[in-house]
Structure 1
Amino acid sequence: MVFTGVILSALLMLLLSDSAQCRRVDCKTECCSFVEGFPVRLKELRSAYREIQKFYESNDDLEPLLNEKVQHNINSPYGCHVMNEILHFYLDTILPTAVQKDHLHSKAPINSIGNIFQDLKRDILKCRNYFSCQNPFEISSIKNSYEKMKENGVYKAMGELDMLFKYIEQYLASKRVKH
């Protein structure tokens, strides 16, 4: 787990770093309270990480895992799904491996980070409507809409072929080699 320190550091920086400012917001929902209260949890994450940061950073000389593409995806309309996947990865793979390989008696900060990540993952899933998180495209939604239209579905689908042609054209044009 040579690169775990950089990964944790980058993930922590991505997690609401811009909104970690102290401000007073009158929340009416549990999800609003979760978001507004997260700077306190972020402070706990950073505090736990500082206890192990030097060890992991001193053993890291690899390319970053969490790069600008990850940040772009987190900031996309699918951000809560991206966060869920990243947290799942850390909770199921990275943190257990770090605890298993750790020989510096620093299991407590890793466990603390894991507990906060677990809470974060739960709250992000619970609040996905609050975040207006869109699902990645799945053909099943189109098929379900089509089936609900019954025999009129074929008219709708065929009537939108020109739109499909336009989408195909735009997609293929975007893949053309630029001269």
Structure 2
Amino acid sequence: MNFSGVILSAVLMLLLSVTAQCRKTNCKSECCTFVEGFPARLKELRSSYKEILKFYESNDDLDALIDGTVQHNINGPYGCHVVDEILRFYLNTVLPTAVKKNRAHTKTPIDSIGNIFQSLQRDMLKCRKHFFCYKPFEITSFKDSYEKMAEKGVNKAMEELDLLFMYIEQFLASKRDMH
């Protein structure tokens, strides 16, 4: 994604979050409450991410890992599977590696991100029907790119968490009209 695309996406997300805050929804289901409550979780994610961003930016000199393909797939018909697979990858691979590599400086923010990701994954699983999760998403090429980056892969994956947050936010915002 180029710089103007990032700016446009950021403005769009700002507008969506302002609209979400102004619009009061009377939720009648657990899934509605989950979707409507995501902006608070996103705020926590971004706060934790801000604590570690400079470290990962200074150690990242690689091409993008989270690219337009990920965004396209999240916004596609199987978006919930894309989000689920990427969350699983971060929970099982990226975050544990980041904690091992930089235990002294980043453990608490990474733990916070991991806890929110676990909760998000669990809530999305509960709401599979709400999100129309029917077909699996293949994450192999994403994992292959990460593995080719070797030890620097964790820096790239951590540095791009903001993009992942934005893509998940877009996905959940697209589901707001469904309840």
Task: Output the TM-score relative to the length of structure 2.
Answer: 0.64
Gaps of 5+ in 1: 1-9, 138-179
- Which consecutive segments of 4 or more residues in structure 1 shift more than 3 A? 16-21
The residue aligned with 2:74 is 74
The equivalences for 1:139-178 within 5 A come to none
Go from structure 1 to structure 2 and tell me whether the alpha carbon gap of 1:101 and 1:136 turns closer, same or farther (over 3 Å shift). Answer: closer
For 2:67 and 2:57, how far apart are their aligned partners in 1? Answer: 16
For 1:17 and 1:65, how far apart are their aligned partners in 2? Answer: 21
Q: Of the two structures, which has the highest relative contact order with CA contacts closer than 8 Å and spacing of 6 or more? A: 2
CA contact 1:31–1:127 (8 Å) conserved in 2:
yes
Identical residues among aligned pairs (%): 64
The alpha-carbon deviation at position 131 of structure 1 amounts to: 1.1
Go from structure 1 to structure 2 and tell me whether the alpha carbon gap of 1:131 and 1:72 turns closer, same or farther (over 3 Å shift). Answer: same
For 1:17 and 1:128, how far apart are their aligned partners in 2? Answer: 24
Higher helix share: 2
For 2:13 and 2:35, how far apart are their aligned partners in 1? Answer: 12
For 2:119 and 2:136, how far apart are their aligned partners in 1? Answer: 23
The alpha-carbon deviation at position 136 of structure 1 amounts to: 4.1
Count of aligned pairs: 125
Secondary structure in 2 matching 1:27:
coil
Bigger Rg, structure 1 or 2:
1
1:35-71 superposed Cα distances (whole Å, 9 cap, x missing partner): 0000000000000000000000111110111100100
Gaps of 5+ in 2: 1-5, 138-179
The alpha-carbon deviation at position 88 of structure 1 amounts to: 0.3
CA contact 1:77–1:134 (8 Å) conserved in 2:
no
For 2:72 and 2:126, how far apart are their aligned partners in 1? Answer: 23
Q: CA RMSD in A?
A: 2.3
For 2:130 and 2:46, how far apart are their aligned partners in 1? Answer: 25
The residue aligned with 2:48 is 48
